Structure 1
Amino acid sequence: MTEVLPCLAEAEADVQGLVEAHMETMLGVRFLASEYSTGPLHGGRIDSLGLDENGAPVVVEYKRATHAGVIHQGLYYLSWLMDHRDEFQCLVRDRLGAEAAARVLWSGPRVICVAGAFTRYDVHAVREHRRSIDLVRYRLYGGDHIALETVASVHGHAAGARRRTNTGVGGPAPWGRGTAGAAMSDLSSALGEVLLGLGGDVAAVRRKQYTAYRRLRNFVCVPPVRHAKILAYAKVDPKGVDLVPGFTRDVTGLGHHGTGDLEVQLRSERDLERAAGLFRRAYAGA
């Protein structure tokens, strides 16, 4: 047995190239552009542009080690991006198609800062901003491994979802105020409380087709309640789960709203208790 000591990259460009080549796996973000010019008037270059799993625009900034300006730099470019929405949507259309461009989630833009280290002042600073900012620390282990650790994560507008009550996780049920409807509404609210309660870094991102619960990446997505059950799609490998008919199902390769290959069907509080371990596994992997 030999010890493999952690180290930093030789240059910032090495970190950027590695993350851009595997951005969806590492950050849950689809890569759009590298060193994107903000024009002669603004006079800057955005390290990486991307689109996250829920369609939110993402600015990614890299630093080899600790750098006092990484957060402000990311916010500077995010401000430019919000003022040039048409340009960004054209970029999305060119790279990912018209459907993705039409579904850009402008209410939830994000900055992800990837660096060798962050100071306590950086962690405090992100909590004072209204934007969604993730601080991600990297370490290289030999020539074959990289470790990513979320140091701080603030979810901006999405944090307001935590304060909402009695709204459920997937929108109103279609059947009105009957007994079944009230039961599903209560179960929906309980599910939202369980998922948000998994950690202080969890945000609820609401889209028309689903509500995503995420840390750095989505870990559970819940479509609107349509029948006498709630469906939750968890990012857990179905091959590692003892599937129970009527409760869990492998939906790998099957179309559904949101992300996650394990479908969990909830009809009662007892089902929610049974699913708690699966949700914790999904959270741990995000």
Structure 2
Amino acid sequence: MNDLKLFRVVDGRSVEIAGSAVALERHLQTLIEANMEAMLGIQFLASEYATGPRHHGRIDSLGLDENGNPVIVEYKRSNGKAVITQALSYLSWLRDHRHEFESLVKERLGGEAADLVDWSSPRLVCIAGDFTSHDAHALGEIGRRIDLVSYRDFGGGLLALQLVASVTGSTTSSRTPSTPGSTGAPSAGPGGGGSTVKPVRQFYDESPQSLRDLYADLDAMLISHADVQKEFQLHYVAYRRIKNVATARFQPRSHTLVVRLAVDPDTVELVEGFTRDVRKIGCLGTGPLELRIRSQEDLARAGDLVRRSVEDR
């Protein structure tokens, strides 16, 4: 299923570079753990984490993604069938050991990160040399948030990762108010439980129709890229490939969509009231460039930046 090809072009002639699985599974794991945030958008927490006598095993890697979701990463050097089963078997441990996981986050990343862990949709990332079409089709039946990532080692320090399949699963906690729907609007989901935080669903419901229509057009622009996934977090809607390419939230009173992109602000001519550098500003969402979109004209001029964010990721 992995059809990723790499070519070296010399004097206008292309020569394919043969890719292969790395020699040792542990080498692949060590390499990705050392570069997990850059490669996967996940902050590394622990390696070979013991699950105790009841669950009988060791989780290859534990992490926290850019949206605050717990992540289990499992690796297989070649075929991916076993890695999916193994990752699923550890999910029950994760759900039963929330306090232990949060303690680990606090130890490695600090108390603020631990307080913001979002248990609505824990994520499984399965990395293998290849997956079959049956593996990809099975994800929809599993009903869990799973990414299948294939890799190729091209030698000379070249390692390629490719997201070959992804499903958003279903929310299981009151912290997240909605699950992906079939339209641009956040679909109805569980209520907010005892949380005092106003969720993105409520902001959407309070938005005027003009803002909802604007969001529907932004949504269509982002998901027109076949491999971009949409996921509803507590505070914003996230769009991602392996890593987030954009986040969007609503400001009903000012009729504004606040969009953050994975675009370097240093490469953009910033316009007051439309674009700003938020690298040193604490605000909701991910990505260093913030856009404030209030009209179809704003959305049109945001088009190139949105495209860059998706394609450069």
Which amino acid letter does the alignment assign opposite residue 115 of structure 2? A
Match of 2:7 in 1: none
What's the TM-score, normalizing by structure 2?
Answer: 0.81
Separation in structure 2 between the aligned mates of residue 132 and residue 167 of structure 1, nearest angstrom: 17
Identity %: 46
Q: Does 1:14 align with 2:14?
A: no
Q: Single out whichever of 274-283 and 75-84 deviates more from structure 2.
A: 274-283
Match of 1:222 in 2: 248
Per the TM alignment, residue 164 of structure 1 is displaced from its structure 2 partner at its CA by: 5.7
CA contact (8 A) 2:184 2:215 kept: no
Match of 1:211 in 2: 237
Match of 2:6 in 1: none
Query: Which structure 2 residues correspond to residues 50-129 of structure 1 after superposition, within 5 A?
Result: 50-129=63-142
Query: Which structure 2 residues correspond to residues 17-32 of structure 1 after superposition, within 5 A?
Result: 17-32=30-45
Cα gap change, 1:200 to 1:142, in 2 (>3 Å): closer
Separation in structure 1 between the aligned mates of residue 126 and residue 232 of structure 2, nearest angstrom: 20
Q: Does 1:133 align with 2:160?
A: no
Match of 1:253 in 2: 280
CA contact (8 A) 2:237 2:248 kept: yes
Q: Single out whichever of 34-43 and 117-126 deviates more from structure 2.
A: 117-126
Per the TM alignment, residue 100 of structure 1 is displaced from its structure 2 partner at its CA by: 1.5
Separation in structure 2 between the aligned mates of residue 200 and residue 8 of structure 1, nearest angstrom: 23
Q: How many residues were matched structurally?
A: 282
Which amino acid letter does the alignment assign opposite residue 101 of structure 1? A
Separation in structure 1 between the aligned mates of residue 66 and residue 128 of structure 2, nearest angstrom: 22
Cα gap change, 1:91 to 1:72, in 2 (>3 Å): same
Q: Which runs of 5+ in 2 are unaligned?
A: 1-9, 172-177, 188-198
CA contact (8 A) 2:78 2:130 kept: yes
CA contact (8 A) 1:233 1:258 kept: yes
Which amino acid letter does the alignment assign opposite residue 252 of structure 1? R
Which amino acid letter does the alignment assign opposite residue 109 of structure 1? P
Per the TM alignment, residue 246 of structure 1 is displaced from its structure 2 partner at its CA by: 3.4
Per the TM alignment, residue 217 of structure 1 is displaced from its structure 2 partner at its CA by: 1.4
CA contact (8 A) 2:186 2:232 kept: no
Cα gap change, 1:167 to 1:60, in 2 (>3 Å): closer
Per the TM alignment, residue 220 of structure 1 is displaced from its structure 2 partner at its CA by: 0.9
Q: CA RMSD in A?
A: 2.6
191, 203, 207: which is aligned to 2:218? 191
Q: Deviations over 1:213-252 (max 9, x none)?
A: 2222111122331524322110112233343443322333
Q: Single out whichever of 23-32 and 153-162 deviates more from structure 2.
A: 153-162
The secondary structure found in structure 2 opposite 1:156 is coil
The secondary structure found in structure 1 opposite 2:142 is coil
